[in-house]
Amino acid sequence: QIRRATVEGPVIPRQTSEGGQHMNRLATAFRDLRRNGAFLLMVLPGAAWFILFCYLPMPGAIFAFKEFRVDLGGGFFGAIFRSEWVGFKNFEFLFKAHDAYIITRNTVLYNLVFIVLGLVCSVAMALLLFQLTQKRLAKLYQTAMFMPYFLSWVIVSYFTFSFLSVDKGVVNQLLGTLGVQPIDWYSDPKYWPYILVFMNLWKGVGYSSVIYLAAIAGIDKTYYEAAMIDGASKWQQTLRITLPLIRPMMIILTILAVGGIFRADFGLFFQIPRDSGALFPVTNVIDTYVYRSLKVLGDFGMSTAAGLYQSVVGLILVLTTNKIVKKINEEQALF
């Protein structure tokens, strides 16, 4: 036994070994923290935003299944637990409304058009900016197209009104000089599908094109040099090199956009038409309908039910779209 102990050495207790491994893991974690500290600081504001406005409010989904009443006592949280369970009753107002078909149709069709045209216009704009040889001019165009993304829809609505006003609008004054009768834009619904699509593209294409431009800039330049040696034109380089290499980015952004197909941009559909009742057949979407309904009713449960419905449908659409992409090309799927 003495000889065996001498050969094998002293026996190290198991607890000491596990403690050493734990210290090594902590040391590795602190070392990674110091090495990636700058990146973590960059992520911190976005992470804090998601935690405060996305994850912490999640328990509030319970409102969708309760008839919330503040007068039950016990404070805010006490009223939540004392409120009566109503099951799916809060969802009925959205599905049984007489405008249910119209608001669902408008929401889905507008978003489909936004996704398709937004993808085409953003990629086309990114390709055009990439072809500019003068970098200063490219930066100028890029900044000019990116700026509308930061403007509030409230501000944009006033600019739109200055163009479409019946009395003093720029468009009607121009039509008057051409001998055409002025148009009451805010009372005629037939023009507004085109106006809303144009405004959405004007405000969002610049932001999306910058994302695609960054993806194009990351492509290895040797591909283009080899194509030029082989005599490929700019159009052929775009079709055979650029578009295939940015396809994964296009697919990812499209999948994420499909997830929001039941969510409309409230500012676009409420502020730009200036809440005109004559335009409701073409501007009323789920978000604006819920806002107008609950502005009168003031029911927390109904508004929560509408938001939960949009979120669940969006999740299902993302999972379905990702599964379809995964069957076609597994490497280009989101997860």
Domains identified in the chain and CATH numbers? 88-332 (1.10.3720.10)
Kindly give, in sequence order, each residue whose CB lies less than 8 Å from that of residue 94, ignoring residues fewer than 6 positions away.
Answer: 100, 286, 290, 302, 305, 306, 309
Mean pLDDT of the region 86-115? 88
Across the chain, what does the average pLDDT equal?
Answer: 86
State the Cα–Cα distance between residues 271 and 253, nearest whole angstrom. Answer: 26
Mean pLDDT of the region 66-86? 80
Other residues' Cβ atoms within 10 Å of the Cβ of residue 255: 21
Range scoring the smallest mean pLDDT among 36-45, 50-59, 90-99, 158-167? 90-99
- Report the pLDDT value the prediction gives residue 119, as an integer from 0 to 100: 95
State the Cα–Cα distance between residues 235 and 224, nearest whole angstrom. Answer: 12
State the Cα–Cα distance between residues 242 and 90, nearest whole angstrom. Answer: 49
Which band of pLDDT confidence, cut at 50, 70 and 90, is reported for residue 84?
A: confident
Gyration radius of the chain over CA positions:
28
Other residues' Cβ atoms within 10 Å of the Cβ of residue 204: 18
State the Cα–Cα distance between residues 284 and 100, nearest whole angstrom. Answer: 10
* Phi, psi angle pair for 168, to nearest 5°: -120, 15
Mean pLDDT of the region 151-166? 93
Residue pair 333/254 in contact by the 8 Å Cβ criterion: no
